[in-house]
Chains A and B, each alone.
Chain A
């Protein structure tokens, strides 16, 4: 489950539509609790065989979170089970509160909080007394920050925004995007089977580059210590946006799955099902930089 937060008009719905439009994506169920002018494109949802649900905020005094209850129970009971739950949080929602559902519910895994910021209007919103705390909470709790509308804003404003974001949230990677466009594997991470590994031979690694992002993978069936892995993932620089891996843990018989989404790290047992390709190893995505592969090669070499 991924929480997409961000203030009204930051471009969340455009991004959701963009993610739904990508052809090879997982089955996504979208829970919406923001109702701006732009609707989620219903055609896209039908085409993807996914669904949207309303995540209505209840009265905090009288409906006691019953709206959240209903949305989550409908989503969890949905047949066939979606691969991914994407929550488009309302512009005034505290993403951490929503993310907590995934932390507590055994049938959900938190894939991170992604907060979208509008480079054009960010400062105005932030200076509104009535909204400043919630804007701050949305930024500080983010595991990945998206700075949108970078084509429309002046470079100077983009820099100021990025600086403020870095000030409020010291660790989350900041990705600059335009038109709310971002590739699905950066937003959602790899699918559960990590198909990309099938193309990588054992103990070898590969990497690809596109305009802004680089991808890297390594296949390995060595036993890995979970605590050491967590350390390594923790110390990766913010330019490494996502890491996902399936591995043999030292002293355990079952396979484990690790994923890192910005600053969010989760290591848990792999629940076996037919979609697992049998391949073990790690994949990563990061912003393009000369030492991208070196950083990852070095980090994962130290594990073996």
Chain B
């Protein structure tokens, strides 16, 4: 029989109501053998006691149910965001608070580069655009000859210098949407949306999609997860060609790779029956650490980008309604085809009209064929009202709510995008609880930083960046939030029988914490220290 390791801890929060807390957890063959006191565990036979967590709190490894592999790869570029962030290697990048600080950081980064490298930065915050906008002259001061590109935090804007502009022959009097012009009629360096950004990105080799594909990106992604206590993460959209799947398998198989990775197939880049066949084929390639077979379907855009599909009365500031990525009629077909074949779907819906259309499609599919084995998930599901939560309950559909939005974009939603009434009910965790809708909360990293305890803090406190309380009613308790980032998220990935709680038979995947989230106080939840993780009984200390 294989050896038993027993970890002692100051406290173990199991998420198993039959035994909510324990002082010891025994691990055999990578799985939880038992929890309880040392005396109770001793009955299982000889063991090795590991006291390294004796002063720490052990929780089930956190589950990030919606993020993107790019969250690792993006760090090859220089970070110029407003908030402090830590890169995959643990380096703290303090937020830059003024335009001058942005330029200073760019100058420092510029000096490190080889003669032929372009300088690419990311995370530039629109808050810097209040007084005056960053333009090519600012960046020409950093370097007149080296191409420079600053990607804004929303990934829909790019500011470049003159050297970059000339690469794409961007000259005066171009009458192209998205190429902003200065007072002299020449491009001022600001480029809006992919069409205008593309010629420069192509010539500088800035391929955001590739950022999620290389070996280094996958490794860095694992590091990003490890730093925030995540042991299972879902990469929410991927084309998953065979060579990428093979690479993912090789990397995740490594005993030093600290997470279980789920990767979802893009469901709208081929006809419905091809998506079905590919999803079923991928499902068969799943391993203990790589989960495949679920499909992502994108219906609308984003609320902050004014591209979400809203019902009446639409945008608060009168902006036109958003965009569809798939026609409602086509969604009906796709959802029915996949449901019938037993493929789990994660449907991106931000606006309430997109939620309505997705729920209608699921309703039709379930009338045709009930599949009680499948839990389909509405991803983001930000604007759902209570009637829609009731419908989710009736249909047996889960929601993965974008709680980080409350902090990062809540002020904007209240003032500009959807107005007070609907901003107060955004990402409605309490409504999900009221009606018994299974739910999780997520970061959508790199859109917002991955850190489940921060996401939980958002769901519990609902404070915006300016400190406003956005929707008191929808706040949930610390216990409920901890549930959402463990078992709740595991359920949305069809993995709650394997991970999400510390319970006999499940994987020994733990988050090792320096403080006790149950007692640190709701307002401090985001400040809980993290030592690292344990995956299948193996320790992964943050380096």
Contacts and interface: CB of A to CB of B under 8 A. Distances in A.
Contacts of B242: none
A66 B301 contact: no
A207 interface: no
A73 B193 contact: no
Contacts of A59: 236-237, 296, 298, 325, 348
Interface in B339-386: 348, 350, 353, 357, 380
A103 B176 contact: yes
Nearest to A110: B176
Contacts of A103: 176-177, 195
Given A59-B298, A62-B236, A69-B201, A91 B328 contact: no
A72 B198 contact: yes
Contact of A65 (B193, B309, B326, B350): B193
A56 B268 contact: yes
Interface residues of B, number: 56
A168 interface: no
Contact of A104 (B178, B305, B329): B178
A69 B213 CA distance: 15
Interface residues of A, number: 43
B194 interface: yes
A39 B271 contact: yes
Contacts of B320: 133
A69 B194 CA distance: 7
A36 B331 CA distance: 11
B330 A91 contact: yes
A301 interface: no
B42 interface: no
Contact of B202 (A7, A57, A61, A73): A73
A-B pairs with lowest CB-CB distance, top 10: A60-B301, A56-B269, A65-B194, A100-B195, A61-B302, A66-B209, A64-B155, A92-B324, A35-B271, A103-B176
A133 B202 contact: no
B463 to A, nearest CB: 22
Q: Is the interface of A mostly helix, strand, loop or mixed?
A: loop
B302 A91 contact: no
Nearest to B207: A69
A92 B207 contact: no
A8 B327 contact: yes
Contact of A57 (B176, B196, B321, B325): B325
B179 A8 contact: no
Give the interface SS of chain B, mostly helix, strand, loop or mixed.
loop
Interface in B143-193: 155-156, 168-170, 176-179, 193
Q: Which of B176, B194, B266, B321 has the most CB of A within 10 A?
A: B194
A34 to B, nearest CB: 9
A8 B156 contact: no
A133 B372 CA distance: 37
B311 to A, nearest CB: 9
Contact of B444 (A7, A61, A67): A61
Interface string A49-61: 0000010111111
20 contacts: A8-B327, A35-B269, A35-B271, A56-B269, A57-B325, A59-B298, A60-B298, A62-B237, A67-B209, A68-B195, A73-B198, A97-B193, A101-B198, A103-B176, A103-B177, A104-B196, A106-B168, A130-B328, A131-B328, A133-B321
A174 to B, nearest CB: 24
Nearest to B321: A133
A73 B239 CA distance: 16
